[in-house]
Amino acid sequence: MSRFISCEAGRLEPYTPGEQPVDMQYVKLNTNESPFPPSPKVVKAVSQAELLKLNLYSDPTCGQLTRAIARRYELKPEQVLAGNGSDELLSFAFRAFCGKGKSVAFPDVSYGFYKVWAAFYGIEANVVPLKADFTIDVDDYMDDHGTIVLANPNALTGVELPTAQIQRLLEADRDRVVIVDEAYVDFGGESCVPLLCRYDNLLVVQTFSKSRNLAGGRLGFALGDSDLIADLNRVKYSFNPYNVNRLSIVAGAAAMEDEAYFQKCTAAIQKTRTWTTKTLEELGFTVLPSRANFVFAASKSFPNGELYRKLKENGILVRWFDEDRIRDFYRITIGSSEQMEQMVEEIKKLLGEM
């Protein structure tokens, strides 16, 4: 750090993204990217004509994209806000719905950015431990009257919280906002979107990065009551009105409209996830029940990051978190069936060397 950094910035502990190495070609199973390319309709939509418009600012309302999302989820356009990845929208939500006298609560084992945003905005955070089996007990949040943020399925474990339990939180206190981060819901999870017509204190945030194969496009969207979306827009227009670029707007609209390709890709991931889970369990791993495009697995044969290090030496990347409670777990992205078979064969070799 330089001598010029502010005290507030100096105290921050930034989020650590997954490795994006350039030193060699890896089988990347560490950042929950899709193994599939974008929809062919996306490739067609990002045409030369659109490229020639890059001298012009993008539509700050993201109208084309917003309308496509609204149609897909049977909502009004004013119930939708597009953003530069779901991270940006979640950050807007922390700023909009938390602050002086209004805390935020979230699980201890979940998406690491929640703690970062709380510190960044100076928000009091109630970090609630997951149960021993890594599930969320909503009773732990009932007496907290600040904003609640839940990744569902959980961003680190893949474990799903039934929407009926989230509905209990919404009912218990209609004066607090419940934010449900559904980055992984399209891989077999149950979405809270159908609850939006009943609860004006519910905000659902999703992303194009995982199930719509556009991690590099940096696109996300928030769904909620029009007043909640207006609150987010108030933050957006105080920060970056042109937050989504022209190419991502047309790419996102095309991806949202290609339902057949979306279903094909998500079904393939779920099938491969089932095979991967079964195979890892046969190799002695404990694998948490996942509804995401990754599995969270532990093995007594590979404690304390050993599997991460050995696989990396052999050209395969998985994610390891050197943190309490999860130090012996590995988050493994579900790639193509060929990639998962390659990983399993490497693990078998490692086990055979013991």
Where in the sequence of the chain do the CATH 3.90.1150.10 domains occur? Answer: 8-37+260-352
Q: What is the pLDDT of residue 230?
A: 98
Q: What is the pLDDT of residue 49?
A: 79
Q: Is the pLDDT of residue 16 over 70?
A: yes
Average pLDDT over residues 23-51: 90
Burial 209-240 (b: 16+ CB within 10 A, else e): bbbbbbbebbbbbbbbbeebbebbbebbeeee
Cβ neighbours around 293 below 10 Å, total: 27
Q: What is the pLDDT of residue 23?
A: 64
Residue that has been written with the tokens 């996300």 in this structure: 220
Quote the crossing angle between the two packed helices 306-313 and 337-352, to the nearest 10°.
110
Cβ neighbours around 78 below 10 Å, total: 14
pLDDT 10s digits, 305-339: 999 999 999 999 999 999 989 999 999 999 999 99
Q: Is the pLDDT of residue 20 over 90?
A: no
The model's pTM is 0.95
Residue 19's pLDDT band (boundaries 50, 70, 90)?
Answer: confident
Q: In CATH terms, is domain 8-37+260-352 a member of 3.90.1150.10?
A: yes
Tell which residue, 225, 180, 179, has the closest CA to residue 200: 225
Residue 3's pLDDT band (boundaries 50, 70, 90)?
Answer: confident
Where in the sequence of the chain do the CATH 3.40.640.10 domains occur? Answer: 40-257
Average pLDDT over residues 279-283: 98
**What does pLDDT average to over the chain?**
95
Q: Rounded to 5 degrees, what angle do the CA atoms 299, 129, 195 make?
A: 105
Q: Is the pLDDT of residue 272 over 70?
A: yes
What is the sign, positive or negative, of the torsion defined by CA atoms of 225, 229, 230, 232? positive
Q: Is the pLDDT of residue 184 over 90?
A: yes
Q: What is the pLDDT of residue 50?
A: 86
% of the chain with per-residue pLDDT over 70: 99
pLDDT 10s digits, 125-150: 999 999 999 999 999 999 999 999 99
Residue type, 148: I
pLDDT 10s digits, 212-247: 999 999 999 999 999 999 999 999 999 999 999 999
Q: What is the pLDDT of residue 320?
A: 96
Q: What is the pLDDT of residue 17?
A: 81
The whole-angstrom separation of Cα 248 and Cα 220 is 10
Q: Is the pLDDT of residue 14 over 90?
A: no
The whole-angstrom separation of Cα 187 and Cα 219 is 18
Q: What is the pLDDT of residue 5?
A: 83
The class (CATH top level) of 40-257 is alpha beta
Cβ atoms of 302 and 271 within 8 Å: the answer is no
